[in-house]
Structure 1
Amino acid sequence: MYDFANSGYTTVVITAVFSAYFVGGLAKGAHWATLAWTSALSLSYAIVMLSMPALGAWADLHAGKKRLLMLATIGCVVGTALLAWTPRLSGTEAVIAAMLFIVVSNTFYSYGESLIASFLPELATAQGMGKVSGWGWSFGYVGGMLALGISLGYVLWSQAQGLPASHFVPVCMLITAGIYAVAAAVTFSLLPERAQPRVDRGIGAWQQLRSTWQGARRYRDFVWLLACTVCYQGGVAVAITLAAIYAEQVIGFKPQETMVLIFVLNLAAAGGAFTFGYVQDRLGHRLALSITLVAWMAVCLIAASVTTKGGFWVAAAIAGLAMGSSQSAGRAMVGVLAPPLQMAEFFGLWSFATRLAAIIGPLAYGLVTWATHGNQRVAILATTVLFIAGLLLLLPIDMKRGRAAAIEKSPA
């Protein structure tokens, strides 16, 4: 249910609606607009990258994953609702306010994503991690489609009434915040905090985190996975944060067409996550993730070369299947390689990697676009390098060896 709750944020705010409105509406399509958008996201990811591992260690020591998750949810819901206020401003004020609220909402969203993932190993065995992660991720895309579908209906009605984007974009933000709050309440009602506090050990969160870093050689397969994650998630972050901007600025999609595109992309992603979870458990985690990375390379090549809306639809369909499966596969691999007593901490390290990736990918895209005087085709083609690097870093990982290291000192 939490996957269902928070997916509307990425779908409506980051991917389909507010990103394109920020560039084309608030910033009036200025040449620096894409870089400003990616910079705001990068700042939020830097905050998460530097703070989430320590927060995860604290949550493990104090059995506080659920408490932190509640705070993260409130922060994201409030930050998303505040985005509805930005169209009332004008010029530089509107851009600065939007960047501030994106930093706030995306930081808390990222905290929540990491904390909810740390519950996964409590709900599935190592052999079933892929399918359970796939269930959650696929149901999450259903939540994203619900938020986007309601928003799309309101957008179409508003346009029929002759209302501008400055009217319907704020309503979309409020719809997204409301669905997030209501659906997350189910999680807080039904999901227990099974962990027990370990504060009697006399060790703090930072000391625990430093100890984990120092002993990282014992978890070398997990470290390889983090390096792989930094690369391929950087490419995925480009797709999530810039798909709508690319569709409208390069291919020529209209806002309502972009929303339909993202809706179908989420439908494909839900199917990919659900189906590929079973495939992952059967084929093995490393091979399954490798297949998705090859699919992502194809997406970049197709998107960079097509000039028609139909051609871009093909790229979007493949991206949807690859997105759901690659996101779910990575989360499941962390669940297998993380020590049972340090779940939140290790998922915090995973958040460090994914947020570093989310800085590198979109910011590199924005810089390439700026350096090439707005040529986003070159930028999307350059993104292929991230998936190639991720595939190469995936090769040294041995899941059996990594799982043995994870459970070596854990109680039965």
Structure 2
Amino acid sequence: MSANLAPGVSRREVWAWAMYDFANSGYTTVVITAVFSAYFVGVVAGGATWGTLAWTSALSLSYALIILSAPLLGAYADAYACKKRLLLLCTLGCVASTAALALAGPGTLGIAVLFIVLSSLCFGSGENLIAAFLPEIARTDALGRVSGWGWGFGYLGGLVSLGASLAYVSWAQAHGQTAAQFVPVCMLITAALFALASLPTFLFLRERSQPQLQAGAKHSARVAFARFAQTLREAGRYRDLLRFLACTVSYQAGISAVITLAAIYADQVMGFSTQDTLMLILLVNVTASVGAVLFGHLQDRLGHVATLSLTLLGWMLMIGLAWAAEGPPLFWLAANIAGLCMGASQSAGRAIVGLLAPPTRLAEFFGLWGQAVKLASILGPMTYGLSSWLSGGDHRQAMLITGSYFVIGLLLLASVDLKRGRRAALVDQPHSAVG
């Protein structure tokens, strides 16, 4: 492992960095994918036809807030070398808001929307900040492997949170409890595990960046705006990054739709119970962990673009199988192909941004990546939600329409030249701060 790490980086520090992926994966697995999404539609919204659209709209609002704030938050973190402090604030916000989802029950739409927006905003902001540490701890030729370790470890964290929730749900159902009784407890379990598992990150991960300020510059939010404005003026220098961000918007739209609506699709189309869905997501997290690690090693050998192309082809296969599935066996196969591709594509995307980001602007450029991911997180689920609504609840058609995003992403990826993009990143000069 040591040969893959940047000088001065210990194995313990890489473990502490990966532990954040371990910690926050419980939120996406339990809240967004497996438990709260179906609970929101079936219980909070009372099974109304507008429930799926309300769920995707609430998430889209949080993603819109991230789109507006991510590059500025990243520019501020780079200017003042405070990624870790901002990460702590985002973590506390997500943990508290996730715990507050326990207050949501039948008819409490306002409470559910408020805390899903707040928790998702804090989660997405923290996700961008932790990713910005990757180029500081990994060698350039090992970004794929180290990113893959983080994602792979992260899916194991999702397994822990989901496993704990599944155990509680099984116990609660055996004692005659309803979803309105056991889902709030699952939110508390998820929040507690997030808080506990993230502790090593704040104890052992180092802030290596240096403040990008002129001598005597004042501590001001104006610095973030000035840095981001300069990045916009120089956008033409980073054409390969821009092309990859466009590619990211497309393929991540498809991934976001699958992640956000998997439990709803399983419930509405396949007739899965809550326990069936939890078991499915549990197994998918195993395959996702395997996919992240295996493809992480593969992309450093085969190439990032080629590896990501393979995963997008896999996503297309998965969409076709899910659309054609009439019973559980074929749907289980499709779900596990999605797991393999999910781990691989998420890991590859983070590594590619690490290559294309200037060393003095890591948080800002990962903020741009986060902006692209969250724009995708609006497009994908909203496309699915609107397709389902306009078709009178035809989830199969909605799934097929959403799959077109992977085709577009593959076409856009062909235009990205990583060597040229890396050269542009390395000739970058530090910003001059506003005093």
Q: CA deviation at 1:408?
A: 1.3
**TM-score (normalizing by structure 2):** 0.92
CA deviation map 1:19-64 (0-9, x unaligned): 0111111112111000000000000000000111001000000001
The corresponding residue for 2:5 is: none
| One of 254, 268, 273 as aligned partner of 2:273 | 254
- 2:175 equivalent in structure 1: 161
How far residue 409 of structure 1 moved from its aligned partner, in angstroms, is 3.4
Partner of 1:66: 84
Please point out which of 294, 297, 301 is paired with 1:275.
294
Q: Deviations over 1:341-368 (max 9, x none)?
A: 0000000000110000000000111001
Q: Partner of 1:176 in structure 2?
A: 190
1:383 match: 402
Report percent identity of matched pairs: 57
**Residue 336 of structure 1 aligns with which residue?**
355
Counterpart of 2:262 in structure 1 is 243
Offset from partner CA, 1:264-318 (integer Å, 9 cap, x none): 0000000000110000000100010000001101111111111101110010010
Matched position secondary structure for 1:194: coil
Unmatched 5+ residue regions in structure 1?
none
Letter in 1 for 2:58: A
Q: Aligned letter for 2:62?
A: S
User: C-alpha distance in 2, partners of 1:337/1:275?
Assistant: 22
Alpha-carbon separation, structure 2, partners of 1:55 and 1:409? 20
Note the C-alpha offset of 1:199.
2.5
Q: Root-mean-square deviation (CA), in Å?
A: 1.0
Residue in 2 that maps onto 1:37: 55
Distance across 2 between alignment mates of 1:96 and 1:83: 11
What are the within-5 Å matches in structure 2 for residues 167-246 of structure 1?
A: 167-200=181-214, 204-246=223-265
Q: Deviations over 1:138-186 (max 9, x none)?
A: 0000000000001100000011111111111011101100010011111
Of residues 59, 66, 72, the one that matches 1:48 is 66
Unpaired runs of at least 5, structure 2? 1-18, 431-435
Amino acid at match of 1:157: W
Q: CA deviation at 1:115?
A: 0.3
Deviation for aligned residue 1:410: 5.5
Letter in 2 for 1:165: A
Q: Deviations over 1:191-220 (max 9, x none)?
A: 011111122275711111111111111111
Structure 1 contact 59–344 (Cα < 8 Å) conserved = yes
2: CA distance, partners of 1:310 / 1:21: 24
Paired residue for 1:363? 382
Instruction: State the alpha-carbon separation in 1 of the partners of residues 47 and 253 from structure 2.
Output: 24
Q: Does 1:5 align with 2:23?
A: yes
**AA in 2 matched with 1:269:** A
Q: For residue 105 of structure 1, what is the amino acid of its counterpart?
A: S
Q: Distance in 2 between matches of 1:212 and 1:26?
A: 43
SS of match in other structure, 1:112? helix
Give yes or no for the alignment of 1:147 onto 2:161.
yes
Q: CA deviation at 1:108?
A: 0.2
CA distance in 2: counterparts of 1:71 and 1:173, whole angstroms? 20
Task: Provide the rounded CA distance (Å) in 1 between the counterparts of 2:200 and 2:403.
Answer: 39
Match of 1:26 in 2: 44
Aligned to 2:12: none
* Aligned pairs for 1:337-352 within 5 A: 337-352=356-371
Residue 198 of structure 2: SS of its match in structure 1?
helix
Tell me the SS of whatever aligns to 1:162: coil
Q: Matches of 1:96 and 1:86 in 2, distance apart?
A: 9
* Structure 2 Cα separation of the partners of residues 51 and 255 of structure 1: 35
Question: Matches of 1:245 and 1:96 in 2, distance apart?
Answer: 20
**1:125 is matched with which residue?**
139
